[in-house]
Structures are given as C-alpha cells and as structure tokens.
Structure 1
Amino acid sequence: MAIMALNPLARVPKPHLHFSLSIPHRSSSSFSRQSLLNPSRRRRAASFMASASLYHKELAAAKRAASLAARLCQAVQKAILISDVQSKADKSPVTVADYGSQAVVSLVLKMELPSESFSLVAEEDSGDLRNDGGQDTLKRITKLVNDTLSMDGTYNITVSEEDVLAAIDSGKSEGGPSGQHWVLDPIDGTKGFLRGDQYAIALALLDEGKVVLGVLACPNLPLGSIGNPDKDTSQNQTGCLFSAKIGCGTDMQLLNGSTANRIHVTSIENPADASIFESYEAAHSQHDLSSSIAQKLGVRAPPVRIDSQAKYGALARGDGAIYLRFPRPGYREKIWDHAAGCIVVSEAGGVATDAAGNDLDFSKGRYLDLDTGIVVTNKKLMPSLLNAVQHALKEQIQNAALL
C-alpha cells in the first residue's frame, strides 16, 4: 500500500465536505449544580460522563467509515448494470459495491485506529475476485475505493489491487467472547440495493462479546417517517446515519451532513395501535407467521416490508413499534445482520430478543444461536408480543402435525 505522509489524526477543513463526523455531546448544563447535590443524580452524571468517554474515537471512526462506504454504494447504485452482479456459492447477489464497501471500511478503520490486533468479522471474502474472470471487477472496485478515499482530500493514499484484496480478506475474523472485534455487513439488503430500494452499511464493535457501539448508514431512508402517515414528514430529505454507543443513547443525522438528533422508540402500549416491520423478501422471513402474530396482538395496520437493518433505524426513531424476523427452518443468523441494529434500537429505549425472550448473544463467533427468530419492540409491548409469538409458534407446530 503506497501511503504518502498519512496522518489520519490531522484534519484539514474542506469546504466541499458532504458529511459530518462531529459527535454531538451533551451540554454540561444538562447536569446542573443543583442536580449534582443529589447523590443519585451525581452517580448518574458520573456514569454518563464515564460512558461518554469510552469508545469516543471508535465511534467517530465508525461513522466516518460507514459514511464513506455509503458514498461508494450510492455511486454504484446510480449506474448499476447487470455486469455488476456476481454469484456466490449460495447464489445470493454480490455487487462491486459489496466488495468496495468492505474494503473502504477496513482501510478507514485501520488508518483511524492503528492496532496490531485489528479484527473484522465481515460478510465478504476475495475468493471470487481472485478467480479467472474476476480481474475486470477487481479493477473497477480498486478505482471505486481510490475515488472514495480521495473524495474529501483527507487521505493522501493510493491503494493497489492487492491492497484491496487484503482489505476485503481482513474480514475473515471469527469474532468470539474475548477482545475487540468489528462486525460489518458492507451492504445489508443487497437485493434491495439492486432494486433501488432500502439497504444499509451496518458496522458495530464488540468488546468482550458485547456490542458497545453501532452505526447504520441508510442512503435511501428518508429523514421523515416511513410507514407512518400520521408522523410529520415535512423534512423531505433522504439518507440517514444512525449511531449509538453503550450508555449514551442513539442519534440520527443526515448522511450528507447535519446536526445529530437524539431519537427514541415509540411509547405505544396498546398492541392494536402498533405497526409491524418485517423483511421485504418472503424468503428472508415467514410472512405467514408474522401475520398470525399480528392477528393475536390485534394489530390493525398492514405490515411495513422493507429491506435491511434500515428497519432497526426506523424502529429506533419511532416509525413503527415492532420488528419481526422469522427465517425459514435451518437458516442460521449471522452476527453482522443484527449487531449494529440491535444497539441502535436498545440505546433508543427498545428491546431485541429471540422468540423465547433471551438476549441476543454476539459472543459465539460469526453466527447467532437463538430460539426460532428475532423480535424487537419497546419495553412496554414486549411481554404481550412474546406471548403472542409463543402462541403463534405453538399453533404453527400443531398445524404442521396435521398435514
């Protein structure tokens, strides 16, 4: 990798910078002198200050990496051609944007956070690109990566094809319960990306098996509400960046630069007033099971079906109240499909569990071992939701036995 006078900590302001990596901080006035006289408030203030100081650099680097990867993906989506699509062994579509996004995130994290113990658990590897017929695609990816890294003049770096291959392959880590591991889905919702619909660049950090921060870059998600016509949508802008850090809440801002705002899940308590998010693709989740759960809850609104972890972001800001994901039997969930989304929702006041109500465990490697499916909602709705889920699953088993 040819790097000339690279100092990732040096920042030269650029008037054409299109996205902001400033991390909003809580004003010191939030903890008044009077508040600090109260011992319990003083302890909460101290806890907040301690949490705010942790992972500060890591979150800034994650926001920068995901934002740059999103810019690459946007450029590809605008001019997508059938030749952009390759096939993996499992026949799922992979685009040059998948590879380019993973390479950009890997390179940026390594430059912003130099470490000999860098570990990345990610979806793609370079096997197809190294095979005969992959050379042209690799050239395109390398050009995209270099164009993206040079976008705002911050990185004085030119990467080679071998650098790109190495960056992609840095995602082969197995993760686990010890140390720190970045978790990346370079394009979550590839089919949505190919259709021109929703997708997300999802990046999270595990520390000793726990998700401690997460970023969702959602280039096609409107700033206004999705799936909720009663919510104000006057800000008709597109492209959202969600970020969350353990103990510090969840923020949302525009991808192309804006002040970040704190967001929260909906406070709806009556299941009948809830709306449900689920996967757009029927192959990704059992829509019939979700429908049965909705009926048992008395949900009146039709389901909102969108691709990717953009659902987590939309739920975190209160667009909907429930997210259901029930893959077909035999499917194993990958940690990169949920790590970033889970902390974005949980720090916004929500809860994510498996169908039995167990916390999601990201410490066991590249896969989530869980009971049947994933359910996400606010704390008030979760008991009734889990009850409906268990009844629907029991009914499904009984119906299957009769066939």
Structure 2
Amino acid sequence: MQSLTRLGDDLNFASSIIDQVDSITLPRFQSQDLTIRTKPDNTEVTDADVAAEQRIRSMLGRSRSRDAILGEEEGETGSSSRRWIIDPIDGTRNFMRGVPVWATLLALEEEGEIVMGIVSAPALHRRWWAGKGLGAFTGRSWANAKQIHVSDVRNVSDASLSYSSMDGWAARGQLRGFLRLAQESWRTRAYGDFWSYMLVAEGAVDMACEPELELYDMAALVPIVTEAGGTFTSVSGEPGPWGGNAVATNGHLHDEALKILNSISDGEGTARA
C-alpha cells in the first residue's frame, strides 16, 4: 500500500486531470453537433466520451507512464500493480438527451484494491473524491471541500432506496427480490448511475443498487462510499466493484438489504447464490 502522502499526490493529480476533462465534456453537453455512434455492445458513445478518455490517457502517459490503464472506450493498456480505471462519461444517455446527471469517473487500483476515486459532474457543479484512509469529500474545489458521511438510518422500513432501471433485475431473475426491497423501503427514487452512490455517501439516500455494471462504472464510487462510512459490495456480498453489480448502503442496512434482495427469485421463489 502506498503512503498517505503519495495517495494525496495521486488525488491532486487526478483532480488536475478532471479539471481538463470538464473543460472538454461540459462544452459538448447539449451541443447541436454532438457525434453519436453505437458500439458492438449496443451502447452509445459520443465524441465527448472519446475525447475525455483520450485526454485522461494522455496526461497519465506523461506523468504516470509506468501505470496500467483500463478505460471504457479504449480497453486495457499496460501491466502494473497500479492501474487507473476510467469511465469518461458515466450516464452517456443522459448526456445525449440533455439531462445533467452525468459524470467523469476516475479511480486508482493498487495491488488489487481501489484506493482512490474521483467523480466530477460539471453540469451539476459537483465533485466528490476519496482516498483510502483520507476520508471522503465533496466541493467545487479543494479549497471549499466538505467531508461527507453516510446516514445513521438503522431499518430498511425507514430507509430511502435509489436505483437505476428494473430491466437488469429481471434478467438476473431477481426482479421480485428487488421489488420486495423497494416495497419494504420507506421511499424509492430512480436517481440512477453515479448519482445514487454519491447520495448514499452524503447521507441523503440510505441504499442504492444496480444489477448489471462494469468495473469502470463502479471503481471510483467504492472509496467514496466506504470512506464516508458506508459499505459497497456485489449483490452476493463480495466487497468492492468486482462482482458485476452493486449494493451500497450506509453499512447499518447492508445485511438486511442483501437478505431481502436474495430472499426470492423470479422462477422458483428461492434465494440466489
């Protein structure tokens, strides 16, 4: 594990990268000449996604040339115990439609652990970041940063749940489990994407879950949630962003949320492993 001083340096460097990326993505938001194409996996990518990832890779190449990189648009390059993980625009469809809930996600993995994450949502004028052992923060800049913490809600019946879509739960055979969690919660809202998890970290929402995610969708979110005092696992309870899906809570609610999600399947009515 790197020292806290080195991690702080990485966070400062990541912030300088994100400053430049915001200057690329925000002017393209709601642009009339946005270029959009469909990738082989039937997801969309815009010229802003591509330009953002290219800028991040360029800056990493100059200052962190020994580190590996995994990006949504250009895949994996390099081999190192240190790996930067990029989602140039999380919420591309929002970006395309003029919805301001989208963000650039940048994380640092070291020896198999995500040790740093930064999330920038320039159309919302918000940024969040965290480093392992350093806490989680939000603010427009380092100078006016505020440390954030999860809520203290102890029961699902008193909790607010945020989610994305329901299609993936049906594909997993867990739609009934998800609906049970939603029904047992005090309040549900579909904030979606990175926004759900940042609200968990801030204590505005108590639980968030999604059934189908890639590593680059989750990596930057994990340290922000956990350094704020929360818990981030897969639906099966695997810690971190490695399980292909996510459940994030304030920690108090985690076991109960996982139990409800896995309590009934769409087919046999039995729990999924």
TM-score range, shorter chain: 0.7 to 0.9
Contact 1:102 1:124 in 2 (8 A): yes
Q: CA deviation at 1:66?
A: 1.8
- SS where residue 268 of structure 2 aligns? helix
**Matches of 2:131 and 2:226 in 1, distance apart?**
10
**Matches of 2:168 and 2:56 in 1, distance apart?**
26
Instruction: Please point out which of 235, 241, 245 is paired with 1:355.
Output: 235
> Could you say which structure has the higher strand fraction?
2
Instruction: Please point out which of 110, 118, 137 is paired with 2:67.
Output: 118
Q: CA deviation at 1:51?
A: 5.2
Q: CA deviation at 1:202?
A: 0.5
TM-score normalised by length of structure 2: 0.88
Residues 51, 275 of structure 1: alpha-carbon distance in 2 compared, 3 angstrom cutoff: farther
Question: Match for 1:123: what amino acid?
Answer: E
**Matches of 2:120 and 2:143 in 1, distance apart?**
14
Structure 2 counterpart of 1:55: 7
Residues 284, 192 of structure 1: alpha-carbon distance in 2 compared, 3 angstrom cutoff: farther
* Structure 2: segments with no counterpart, 5+ residues: none
* Structure 1: segments with no counterpart, 5+ residues: 1-49, 126-170, 221-237, 328-332, 363-367
Structure 2 counterpart of 1:241: 127
TM-score normalised by length of structure 1: 0.61
Q: CA deviation at 1:308?
A: 2.3
Question: How far does the alpha carbon of each residue in 1:237-283 deviate from its partner, in whole angstroms, 9 at most, with x for none?
Answer: x311111000111010126x75111000111112112111111x444
Contact 1:211 1:343 in 2 (8 A): yes
Structure 2 matches for 1:75-94, cutoff 5 A? 75-81=27-33, 84-94=35-45
Question: How far does the alpha carbon of each residue in 1:293-333 deviate from its partner, in whole angstroms, 9 at most, with x for none?
Answer: 222xx2121x2213421222121111100001123xxxxx4
Identity of aligned residues (%): 25
Contact 1:61 1:108 in 2 (8 A): no
Residues 260, 194 of structure 1: alpha-carbon distance in 2 compared, 3 angstrom cutoff: same
**Matches of 2:120 and 2:129 in 1, distance apart?**
9
Instruction: Please point out which of 215, 234, 238 is paired with 2:118.
Output: 215
**Matches of 1:398 and 1:172 in 2, distance apart?**
39
Question: Match for 1:62: what amino acid?
Answer: A
Structure 2 counterpart of 1:387: 259
Question: How far does the alpha carbon of each residue in 1:36-82 deviate from its partner, in whole angstroms, 9 at most, with x for none?
Answer: xxxxxxxxxxxxxx95313122111111112321221110013144x
CA RMSD of aligned residues (A): 2.3
Q: Which runs of 4+ in 1 moved over 6 A?
A: none
Contact 2:25 2:52 in 1 (8 A): yes
Instruction: Please point out which of 136, 139, 147 is paired with 1:250.
Output: 136
Question: Match for 2:13: what amino acid?
Answer: A
Q: CA deviation at 1:334?
A: 2.0
Structure 2 counterpart of 1:173: 77
Question: Match for 1:121: what amino acid?
Answer: L
Residues 314, 174 of structure 1: alpha-carbon distance in 2 compared, 3 angstrom cutoff: farther
Residues 67, 289 of structure 1: alpha-carbon distance in 2 compared, 3 angstrom cutoff: farther
Structure 1 counterpart of 2:180: 292
**Matches of 2:111 and 2:20 in 1, distance apart?**
27
Deviates more, 1:71-80 or 1:50-59: 50-59
Structure 2 counterpart of 1:278: 163
